[in-house]
């Protein structure tokens, strides 16, 4: 069974947003990201990884949102098998987001930037699937 282990929020003010989740809900900062594509924080409650991200270009944010979008960007599911979930996603009409995967340099079997492969999901929210999980989430396997 797939488990939600990661939620990514896009924001224009990652410092303020991260501070809110730390101060109000007691989440712990477990990492920061700052590269040519994205800046922000990784937070955890010990079970779930919450990414607070500011995208620096439209390609990595996804053209339908762009770098100025704020809100839930994608939800990550830790799965037992990428091969099996790929078949289930295809049966449901979900398509690989190779535009975003290529912009991030992921989706070819490597685990980079806390992501494996992104797919389209309903209502414009992408899904991110991973066999290894996310830093700070229970079940994470580096």
Q: Quick: pLDDT tens for 62-100.
A: 988 899 999 998 988 888 888 888 888 888 888 989 998
Q: What is the pLDDT of residue 110?
A: 57
Domain ranges, residue 48: 3-130
- As for how many domains the chain has, the answer is 1
Q: What is the pLDDT of residue 117?
A: 87
User: Is residue 138 assigned to a domain?
Assistant: no
User: Is residue 111 assigned to a domain?
Assistant: yes
Q: Dig out the tokens for 73 from the structure.
A: 């960007």
Write out pLDDT tens, residues 19-47: 989 987 889 999 999 999 999 999 999 99
Helices (H), 1-142: 14-25, 58-61, 82-91, 98-104
Contacts 24+ apart (CB under 8 A), 97-104: 97/62, 97/126, 99/59, 99/62, 99/63, 100/59, 100/60, 100/61, 100/62, 100/126, 103/37, 103/57, 103/59, 103/60, 104/37, 104/60
Pairwise CA distance, residues 40 & 50, whole Å? 11
Q: What is the pLDDT of residue 109?
A: 57
- The whole-model pTM stands at 0.78
Look up the CATH number of the domain holding residue 39.
Answer: 3.10.180.10
Q: What is the pLDDT of residue 112?
A: 53
User: Is residue 27 assigned to a domain?
Assistant: yes
Q: What is the pLDDT of residue 50?
A: 94
In degrees and rounded to multiples of 5, residue 5 shows phi and psi of: -130, 0
Q: Dig out the tokens for 76 from the structure.
A: 């990550």
User: Is residue 142 assigned to a domain?
Assistant: no
Contacts 24+ apart (CB under 8 A), 25-34: 28/136, 30/135, 30/136, 31/135, 31/136, 33/113, 33/114
User: Is residue 136 assigned to a domain?
Assistant: no
User: Is residue 55 assigned to a domain?
Assistant: yes
User: Is residue 21 assigned to a domain?
Assistant: yes
Q: What is the pLDDT of residue 107?
A: 64
User: Is residue 110 assigned to a domain?
Assistant: yes
């Amino acid at each position: 069974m797939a488990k939600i282990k990661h939620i990514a929020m896009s924001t224009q003010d990652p410092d303020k947003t991260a501070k809110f989740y730390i101060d109000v809900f007691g989440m712990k900062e477990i990492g920061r990201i700052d590269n040519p594509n994205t800046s922000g924080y990784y937070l955890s409650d010990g079970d779930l990884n919450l990414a607070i991200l500011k995208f620096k270009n439209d390609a990595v944010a996804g053209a339908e949102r762009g770098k100025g979008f704020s809100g839930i960007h994608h939800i990550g599911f830790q799965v037992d098998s990428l091969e099996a979930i790929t078949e289930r996603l295809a049966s449901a009409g979900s398509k690989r987001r190779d535009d975003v995967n290529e912009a991030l340099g992921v989706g070819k079997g490597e685990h980079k930037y806390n992501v494996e492969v992104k797919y389209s999901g309903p209502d414009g929210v992408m899904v991110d699937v991973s066999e290894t999980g996310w830093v700070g989430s229970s079940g994470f396997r580096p």
